[in-house]
Amino acid sequence: MEFTELEQRARALAAPGTRRILGIAGPPGAGKSTLAARLAGALGPELAVVVPMDGFHLCQAELERLGRAGRKGAPDTFDAAGYAALLVRLRTPGPAAVYAPAFDRALEEPVAGSVPVGRAVPLVITEGNYLLHDVGEWAAVRPLLDEVWFLAPDDALRMRRLVDRHVRHGKAPARAEEWVARSDEANARLIAAGRMRADLVVE
């Protein structure tokens, strides 16, 4: 599917006077954040804003306390209930802006209050791995999204992107390859189960 078709579909959701939430899901390295940013750029800040699911990563200190630092990125390493609560707030905008967290890849930590969402913005684009996951607190997420797209690129390309990303953010190449094969791909297999719950699959 061409980007222009995706832009038209997103633009149809961005009807002034209403608030809709478009979810972009898919495995690690699928291009979710890239597509979300490109859509928001095409629509402009008056029509769309991106709120990443990754802002609800648990911080590194908490992951270490829980013994889950080696599986950072797995479903239980996020505050799923907090993310769902934010989506509820975003669906019913009040008089003031809502501030959402984001994930700083340089710090490898979530940062609170990073993304302002004005009450008049009609479309929130949220992207992340587990928007279609239906286990535990994640099950509350899908009903809060008006539409969800699932990105399914070529796996070999996706894994190369992931290794390159980890290297850019400080991992040695061998360590990056090991992390992708062990952690990211375990998450990818879990995420793939949600594909059938998407409104649109982008291959």
pLDDT at 186: 86
Alpha carbon separation from 81 to 23, 85, 86, 138, 184 (Å, rounded): 17, 6, 9, 7, 22
d(CA 161, CA 91): 33
pLDDT at 46: 96
- Give 57-111 pLDDT, tens digit per residue: 999 999 999 999 888 889 999 999 999 999 999 999 889 999 999 999 888 899 9
Write out residues in the chain with pLDDT < 70, as ranges.
none
pLDDT at 93: 87
The CA-to-CA distance between both ends of the chain, in Å, stands at 7
Range of the domain at 193: 3-202
Burial grade of 171 (CB within 10 A; 0-12, 13-18, 19 or more): middle
Q: What is the largest CA-CA distance in the chain?
A: 51
Supply the CATH number for residue 152's domain: 3.40.50.300
Count helices and strands (H / E) in the chain: 7, 7
pLDDT at 163: 87
pLDDT at 180: 82
SS3 readout for 110-127: EEEEEEEECCCCCEEEEE
Q: pTM for this one?
A: 0.92
Percentage of the chain surpassing pLDDT 70? 100
**Number of independent structural domains in the chain:** 1
pLDDT at 56: 98
